[in-house]
Structure 1
Amino acid sequence: MARGGGPTVIHLTEAEVRAGGAPILRRIAAMLRPYRTKMVFVAIAVVVSAALTSLVPFLTKAIFDKALFPPDGDIRTHLLAWLVAGMCAIPVVTALIGIGQNWLTSTIGNSAMADLRGDLFAHLQKMELAFFTATKTGAIQSRLANDVAGVRTVLTDTATSILQNSVTVTAAFISMVILSWQLTILTLILMPVFIVIQLQVGKRRQRLARKTQESLSEMTAITEEALSVSGILLSKVFNRADSEVERYRQANREQTRLQVDQAMTGRAFFATVQTFFAITPALIYLAAGLMLQGSSELTAGTLVAFTTLQARLQMPLLQLMRVSLDVQTSLALFRRLFEYLDLEPAITERPGAVELDPHALRGQIEFRDVRFRYPEPRSLSGTVVRDRFGESGVRIDSGPAPEQGWALDGISLTVKPGQLAAIVGPSGSGKTTMTYLVPRFYDVNEGAVLIDGTDVRDLTMGSLAEAVGMVTQEPYLFHGSIRDNIAYAKPDASAEEIEEAARDANIHDRIVSFPEGYETITGERGYRLSGGEKQRLAIARVLLMDPRILILDEATSALDTETERLVQDALERATHNRTTIAIAHRLSTIHNADVIFGLEDGRLVEQGTHDELLALGGLYSRLYVEQFGSGRIEARFTDGVRFTDGEVYCDRPAPDERRADVSF
């Protein structure tokens, strides 16, 4: 498995590739292992049903040769009654067995499918952030829903069908040989040819199944993008509804074409097989006539029993061929699912990782000569890549990706416990990247990020997540109540704790003004709320979590003046007694920071307080002038202050003075 800076690679040995689906079949068998006791009962039921069904032709032969047309010519009514009773009892018993068998197979298959879906979801939760930035959400949803649903039949019915039909075919074959080995050869003479053709059809069905699922993933992705609240808003703003409809229709047409191709693949083959099976009884009668002319011991009862067995043999054989094709089709879907399960998370917990003690945590953050570049996106596009062993459907390493520049280059700094540290710099300078390294959304390439002197890579993932809270520029709210969204950080929080966090975030009064209060539904991604309301809910969520370290990623950049004042006031409460790293494009929000770090092109170019950096005349001073220089650009502050013509004015002046005494 490739990790880090290259494409995702699923390594198969040469033997595994040549073996085709054998490794996947072993993994499917492993999935069913927890249900082996139930599978034993299924196998017993199948064998008993097949054995009982195989008795029917012999009862038929006995009815003809011993009850209806015995050698002496006298119909034996008593024997006939017993034989007929046996023939009636067998279907009743097999039907009852079939009900229990169906319950067992349904339980096994659906339980195994639920396990697979759960394992896949749990594994995806462990994947690093970079994986999801490179993979369409719709593609992931398609594998969880469509691909898993596509293998439902294999897990619920196919294994039992294979066993049942195999036992039936074996029993029928043995019985036919016992009755007449000559007629048996005639019946099965073309089976080797059919098997070879079926293998070729199966390979084509596999390729089509994979392409069909890839097309379905694309349709799901288009649906997820275009019909989300953001997608609908975007298409309406730019009047692109018609193009979105056409994009979906094109994908839909491709999906329809592939579905038709997949449905028609092998139809001619099965039509040929069915035709041969249909005319075989006529050939049997012809052969029987020739054998009878040759003074054969073949009797009428034997002929009737043989043709009955022939019908019982042909249908299971045909079903086995169909099931075999279904299995080969499903192997493509299983391979797609196992591709995700085989991805190794790039960010993992080291053996012997240290648990952070929340009571002893001071919150000092240190970047020690950190160098970092973003890895090549790790995702599975689903395309089939031809390797040197043939078209196996696995992704192969296409060589090293071109090396990117450093996103962070030699960063060394320290944020002391309880400090408010601000990071400023132009877009693309590495500000957000720095904050992503603290909670280990990514790992550094060189150097180290330390909390209280311990490398974050040596900390347990759980304790690190509890120690570091984050408020982003665009907070995410799921479709649920306001209470549930706040309590996401602490599911066992009491109503009092939730309300206290909301008060500290300046959102409680707004919440209780809603008709349903804390039970108000936020809508998808919180679209029923304003930007400021969503931001304050996100702050309340972090406050409920009560982390020792807080990261604020441009949390007020898209807000109006009044809302910014409310959010800024909430943030000031949130940063109290916490180590805080704040990213801000509005320099007015961080002029009281204990220390300000200036980043440019991934390098730390200056650090100091607001006054020190203004006096230095470097990056911070330049950014300051760009925002407020010569008074031509008006800046809004949380207390209603604006900077005009080199002077600072209050929009809401005090009664005794028009000009506010504000220093930067």
Structure 2
Amino acid sequence: MSPTLAMAPSPEVLFQLRAAESATLLVLLLGAPLLKGPTPPHATTNGVSEITTVVRAVKTPRRQLVVFLLSLAALTAFLDGSVTVGLAVIKHVFETNLPPWKGTEFHSVALLVAFAGFAIIGAFKEARGAPIWQSKLLKLFVFAALAFDVALAILIPLVVPIWHMYPDPNPHVPNGSIDVPVGVTPAVHFGLTVFRVLVLTVLFPTLFFPRTVYEPVEHSAPVPQNGETSLLIPAAAAASAETSAGLAAPKAKYGTFNATPSTAPPSRAHTPAPSIGGPSSSADARPSRTELTWSEIGGRLKRLAPYLWPHKSIALQLLAVICLLIVAAGRVINAAIPFKLSEVVEALTHKGGRHTVWSPLLWYVGLRFLAGSGGLGALRDLLWAPVMQFSDRSMSQLAFDHLLNLSLAWHTRRKTGEVLRILDRGAAINHIFELLVFNVLPTIADIAIAIWIFFYFFGPALSIVIAAIMVVYVGVSVLLTSWRTRLRREMVDADVATRGIHTDSLLNYETVKYFGGEEHEGERYREAITRYQKFEIRVMGSLSLMNLTQNLLLSAGLLIGSLLVVLDTTHPQEDIVKRYIVFITYLAQLYGPLNSLAYIYRSINQNLIDTERLLDLLDEPSEVQDKPDAKELIVTDGVIEFGKYNVTFSYDGRTTALNGISFTVQKGGSIALVGESGSGKSTILRLLYRFYDLAPGDGAIRIDGQDIRDVTQASLRKAIGVVPQDSVLFNNTIAYNIGYGKFGATTEEIENAARAAQVHDRIISFPDGYETVVGERGVRLSGGEKQRVSI
């Protein structure tokens, strides 16, 4: 033995250092769950004078960098342990039996658990609103790890020179030597230790130097923003006696004969509850949405079941059952694949047994084909397509019909762009049933099968470890998903607001051009999209953090399980490869569904959030409904009695729109309603059309003695012709728009109507005649042409 090796420290020193580092870091890790987040600073005053602060410095930890560096340190531990596993599987060399590497397997696992544990607990604490990235315990943890790893990096070259492999024959290795390139294994261990030292060297000062961000200070209460649930004139604004210019503000006159508040009993029992289109007393009246509980998720899924399951179609139900059988067959195939793979490996490695490889190889290839996306999965998708289309069709039709049946009161408050975005995002509801059938049930089955196989073939120790990793994985994933759900909800709200501004500006394009509002609208949209992107980047960052945390847990399970398999001395060395292949294949098949389980929970939550506002929309009641015993309106003389007993009406229950109105229109008679703007003329027409219903005691409207509340809305509106003040046309042909007043009208009837409106000659002068498309809201026609077509 050379003098250099004789003067080298004893290999026992490395073992003691590894043991000390493992114990120290794990003990410090145990204190991490007890940490609390930093206390937010309180504003202070000196009692003499108050200085208005314009901006304030906010110190935030470099969370993403800290988590990234902790993950890199965990990765070095994982790779360190993987070297031990690789030697045992490939060369049948149990490295941990050699003095310099004694305890390496436990040291690798301890460091992986410690670094990954701090990253996971930090993410957990941040999700609870108590980040610990600047805690003294974490700083002490990193300092201790750095000190131990520096000592290891110094001693490893002294104990085991990296230019030698193992200088002396080892009794634990066949033939007294190891068939590995000289210096490879010590160099890998040493290199990973040095790399971890570099990572910790960067991490340690990062904990002491957080990022400083300067934020503006708000000194006044935020101005309520008119959202989709706000009144046209908020109560606070209506109550204000002065405008911002100091002038007396006129009281609201919208839909009223006078500006005085209503003294009559309100025509509504109550103002509609805040919802997607309903009014509220303030912009903030909409309650903040809390996190969905499991019972709430179950309740919503139960409510959606009639629209997701084809309960009225036996053929579609049969297809769904066949798809379920295909899913069950896939579970059996997945369970058989690892065993067939191990048979292939055994046939290839067994001396003189190559002639037996074809049978297990063909079985393995066939099973892999069936388990792939082009096998049973393709057949399942093909059969499932009609069921999925049923779900899409039923939900889309339900939402569309409900929108058309909502009252005018709701439509006067809604924002078209926001409603369209809600309908777009609400389409995600159609994927929930597919997730439940093709992900949840198969995942539960795969996990149960894999755990049983681990217990039966590898013993209780491995099954307990994998089950524990699985439980922690699911728990952490659910918690982080709940945190991400809150962030995503804010992002969805910002996205809906952005869509509302976008659509509002396009619908009022001419007005924007009239007043040169391009820059103003561009700035509004820019602010909205910037706010949306701020939430979007937070959602993306939270996703990266969750994926990183999940990967750390899976890596810990893989390393611990691999060490348990390859270091199991109860089986001969010749079986290590076969057993390890079975283990790693089943572990991959377990981690796949396990990862899918977190994805499923995340997807269901996201889909339910995306559809939450659609469900709110579907919950919106239609204020004007036909009575169960409503009859068809029978028109004889056409006498209209408006308020024989005086009509009183209020839109919101606070301000009177009509107060004691009474008149009669005799057969063949005419009546003109004259009054100032907002005096209630349009309100009378809306009541006649039953866009609103009079409350009991507020009078009645009768046609030929029939109370219009007792007849069907369809027969009432069919009996009345109207030329609306605002002539709006569908983005369709002229013939379509003229014929809209009588569905199924013949071409001759359409042309006769155009002649009566004195627009026929003008229409036939167009290149496409009656097939001319008028554009959105009839913008391709002149004002007079649009009015005549509307008539």
**One of 241, 255, 260 as aligned partner of 2:518:** 241
2:78 match: none
1:321 match: 598
2:785 match: 533
Shift of 1:90: 0.8
What amino acid maps onto 1:31 in structure 2? Y
**One of 531, 546, 549 as aligned partner of 1:254:** 531
CA distance in 1, matches of 2:385, 2:523: 40
Shift of 1:263: 2.5
- 334-343 or 90-99, larger mean C-alpha shift: 90-99
Distance 1:293 1:51, change over 3 A: closer
CA distance in 2, matches of 1:110, 1:260: 34
What amino acid maps onto 2:441 in structure 1? L
2:187 match: none
**Matched residue of 2:654: which SS?**
coil
**Matching of residue 427 in structure 1 with residue 708 in structure 2:** no
Contact 2:647–2:662 at 8 Å: present in 1 too?
no
CA distance in 2, matches of 1:340, 1:531: 35
**Matched residue of 1:41: which SS?**
helix
Mapping of residues 452-491 of structure 1, within 5 Å:
452-491=704-743
**Matched residue of 2:455: which SS?**
helix
Distance 1:152 1:44, change over 3 A: same
CA distance in 1, matches of 2:532, 2:385: 29
Contact 2:440–2:600 at 8 Å: present in 1 too?
yes
Shift of 1:129: 0.4
**Matched residue of 2:624: which SS?**
coil
1:176 match: 454
**Matching of residue 100 in structure 1 with residue 350 in structure 2:** no
Distance 1:520 1:503, change over 3 A: same
CA distance in 1, matches of 2:613, 2:510: 33
CA distance in 2, matches of 1:84, 1:298: 19
Shift of 1:296: 11
Distance 1:290 1:527, change over 3 A: closer
What amino acid maps onto 2:340 in structure 1? L
**Matched residue of 2:676: which SS?**
coil
CA distance in 2, matches of 1:363, 1:538: 26
Shift of 1:46: 1.2
Contact 2:309–2:391 at 8 Å: present in 1 too?
no
CA distance in 1, matches of 2:640, 2:562: 93
CA distance in 1, matches of 2:381, 2:574: 42
**Matching of residue 164 in structure 1 with residue 442 in structure 2:** yes
What amino acid maps onto 1:20 in structure 2? E
What amino acid maps onto 2:649 in structure 1? R
Q: Percent identity?
A: 29
1:55-74 deviation per Cα after TM superposition (whole angstroms, max 9, x unaligned): 01122344456x456xxx76
Shift of 1:521: 2.2
**Matched residue of 1:368: which SS?**
strand
1:512 match: 764
Shift of 1:496: 1.1
Contact 2:275–2:616 at 8 Å: present in 1 too?
no
Shift of 1:221: 1.5
CA distance in 2, matches of 1:40, 1:126: 35
**One of 381, 385, 388 as aligned partner of 1:109:** 388
- 210-219 or 151-160, larger mean C-alpha shift: 151-160
What amino acid maps onto 1:472 in structure 2? P
1:305-353 deviation per Cα after TM superposition (whole angstroms, max 9, x unaligned): 1221111111221121122111111111222111111111000000110
**One of 269, 272, 280 as aligned partner of 1:6:** 272
1:367 match: 643
2:487 match: 208
What amino acid maps onto 1:371 in structure 2? V
Shift of 1:476: 1.1
TM-score, length-scaled by structure 2: 0.60
Distance 1:143 1:374, change over 3 A: farther
2:607 match: 330
CA distance in 2, matches of 1:375, 1:209: 36
**Matching of residue 350 in structure 1 with residue 602 in structure 2:** no
1:270 match: 547
Gaps of 5+ in 1: 377-402, 540-664
What amino acid maps onto 1:270 in structure 2? N
**Matching of residue 143 in structure 1 with residue 422 in structure 2:** yes
TM-score, length-scaled by structure 1: 0.70
1:632 match: none
Shift of 1:433: 0.9
**One of 309, 322, 328 as aligned partner of 1:41:** 322
1:395 match: none
Distance 1:207 1:285, change over 3 A: closer
1:23-63 deviation per Cα after TM superposition (whole angstroms, max 9, x unaligned): 11212333222054332222211111121121011223444
**Matching of residue 23 in structure 1 with residue 299 in structure 2:** yes
**Matched residue of 1:227: which SS?**
helix
Distance 1:290 1:515, change over 3 A: closer
CA distance in 1, matches of 2:782, 2:270: 38
Shift of 1:271: 1.3
2:18 match: none
1:405 match: 655
CA distance in 2, matches of 1:136, 1:9: 13
Contact 1:362–1:417 at 8 Å: present in 2 too?
yes
Mapping of residues 438-587 of structure 1, within 5 Å:
438-445=688-695, 446-539=698-791
CA distance in 2, matches of 1:187, 1:156: 28
**Matched residue of 1:190: which SS?**
helix
Contact 2:730–2:778 at 8 Å: present in 1 too?
yes
1:199 match: 478
Please identify which structure carries the higher strand content.
1
**Matching of residue 120 in structure 1 with residue 370 in structure 2:** no
CA distance in 1, matches of 2:721, 2:293: 46
1:639 match: none
**Matched residue of 2:717: which SS?**
helix
1:61-95 deviation per Cα after TM superposition (whole angstroms, max 9, x unaligned): 44456x456xxx76444543221111111122333
- 488-497 or 159-168, larger mean C-alpha shift: 159-168
- 499-508 or 105-114, larger mean C-alpha shift: 105-114
Shift of 1:471: 0.9
- 147-156 or 492-501, larger mean C-alpha shift: 147-156
CA distance in 1, matches of 2:443, 2:774: 54
- 149-158 or 250-259, larger mean C-alpha shift: 149-158
CA distance in 2, matches of 1:160, 1:289: 35
1:189-231 deviation per Cα after TM superposition (whole angstroms, max 9, x unaligned): 2333222222222222322333222222222221211112xx2
Contact 1:50–1:168 at 8 Å: present in 2 too?
yes
2:332 match: 51
What amino acid maps onto 2:452 in structure 1? I
CA distance in 2, matches of 1:256, 1:162: 32
Contact 1:4–1:346 at 8 Å: present in 2 too?
no
1:612 match: none
Distance 1:407 1:292, change over 3 A: same
1:575-627 deviation per Cα after TM superposition (whole angstroms, max 9, x unaligned): xxxxxxxxxxxxxxxxxxxxxxxxxxxxxxxxxxxxxxxxxxxxxxxxxxxxx
**Matched residue of 1:419: which SS?**
coil
- 210-219 or 476-485, larger mean C-alpha shift: 210-219
**Matching of residue 436 in structure 1 with residue 713 in structure 2:** no
1:417-436 deviation per Cα after TM superposition (whole angstroms, max 9, x unaligned): 22111111222222111111
Distance 1:31 1:264, change over 3 A: farther
CA distance in 2, matches of 1:187, 1:296: 23
What amino acid maps onto 2:747 in structure 1? A
1:559 match: none
CA distance in 2, matches of 1:161, 1:315: 11
Shift of 1:529: 2.1
Contact 2:566–2:580 at 8 Å: present in 1 too?
no
1:219 match: 498
Contact 1:215–1:254 at 8 Å: present in 2 too?
yes
Distance 1:458 1:497, change over 3 A: same
Distance 1:447 1:373, change over 3 A: closer
CA distance in 2, matches of 1:315, 1:17: 26
What amino acid maps onto 2:410 in structure 1? F
Shift of 1:105: 3.8
Contact 1:356–1:463 at 8 Å: present in 2 too?
yes
Contact 1:4–1:375 at 8 Å: present in 2 too?
no
**Matching of residue 154 in structure 1 with residue 420 in structure 2:** no
